[in-house]
Structure 1
Amino acid sequence: MSTIHRTHIAMTDRLTERTTDFLSALARLKEALAQPESSFLRDATIQRFEFTYELAWKAIKLWLESKDITALNAKETLQGAVQQGLIQDGNSWSELHRMRNLTSHTYDEAQAIRVYNFVRTEGVTLFDEVAQEMRSWIKA
């Protein structure tokens, strides 16, 4: 087996693993959102949002790399995904990215409520749209 073939198999395996992890995280995020809202649940949901977002952009990054497109960070990855047609609404994903960045800073309850509401009303839909395409990556 050639080195190039082994490298391709390794990349495919990593993409499958990362995609499966993202899909699992998305299911757990939806599970949290299905519960009655409380401050505890809101915090748990935001944490699940954080790792769902991280897994999403890292899976997309691997997908871009499989197409010989290099992206160094989440912002470049999302731009590449828009250019490749994987993400249809780049502005909404920019807002998703901004919400993720807000969670990295000192806790502020008003901000947490804003992030939670965004995730509940828009974020999950954005993840679902990308997840639909990603499922084909692990079936191929």
Structure 2
Amino acid sequence: MNDRLEKQYNDFERAYENLRTGAKEAKTELEIDGVIKRFELCYETSWKLIKTYLEYQGIICKTPRICFKEAFNNDLINNVDTWLKMIDDRNLLVHTYTFEQSRKIFEHINEEFLNAFKNLKDTVKKRLSKEN
């Protein structure tokens, strides 16, 4: 296995576990804000993992949107619409943050995004173990 790909996977897995734990335990406003920041990190590491994995397969993609579509086409993710929604939510957080939007995104994290990240983690782990 490629060292860069393994590092990307490990970084993503750590970010996912931190997000999952935080989302499960968040009760206060400060803790919810921390989960939202963890989502941003998990999002960034997930698309870099996808980009690197696809490069390893000979598929070059330059943006998250293109990478997510290619990941769907290559069965790395199972719902491209959820991943495209992540792009929109992440952009809202970075460019037009409001308290109300952040709480809606916290709901999206718990209702959709955690499952999408878990699916990616499990799929890539399974594929990497087959290659070793």
| TM over 0.5, shorter chain | yes
8 Å contact from structure 1 (residues 25, 51) kept in 2: yes
The 5 A counterparts of 1:93-112 are 93-112=83-102
Q: Does residue 1:37 correspond to 2:27, yes or no?
A: yes
8 Å contact from structure 1 (residues 20, 138) kept in 2: no
Letter in 1 for 2:99: E
8 Å contact from structure 2 (residues 51, 61) kept in 1: yes
Identity of aligned residues (%): 26
8 Å contact from structure 1 (residues 42, 116) kept in 2: yes
Structure 1 residues 138 and 24 mapped into 2: Cα distance closer, same or farther (>3 Å)? farther
For residues 79 and 112 of structure 2, the distance between their equivalents in structure 1, rounded to whole angstroms, comes to 12
What secondary structure is seen at the aligned counterpart in 1 of 2:95?
coil
TM-score normalised per structure 1:
0.87
Q: Which residue of 2 aligns with 1:4?
A: none
TM-score normalised per structure 2:
0.92
Letter in 2 for 1:13: D
Runs of 5+ in structure 2 lacking a partner? none
Letter in 2 for 1:83: N
CA RMSD of aligned residues (A): 1.3
Residue of 1, 9, 31 corresponding to 1:19: 9
What secondary structure is seen at the aligned counterpart in 1 of 2:25?
coil
After the TM superposition, list the runs of 4 or more consecutive aligned residues in structure 1 that deviate by more than 2 angstroms. Answer: 136-140
Matched positions, count: 130
Q: Which residue of 1 aligns with 2:110?
A: 120
Runs of 5+ in structure 1 lacking a partner? 1-8
- Give the greater-gyration-radius structure (CA): 1
Deviation by residue 1:69-111 (Cα, 9 ceiling, x = unmatched)? 1101111110110111111211111112211111112431100
Letter in 1 for 2:97: Y
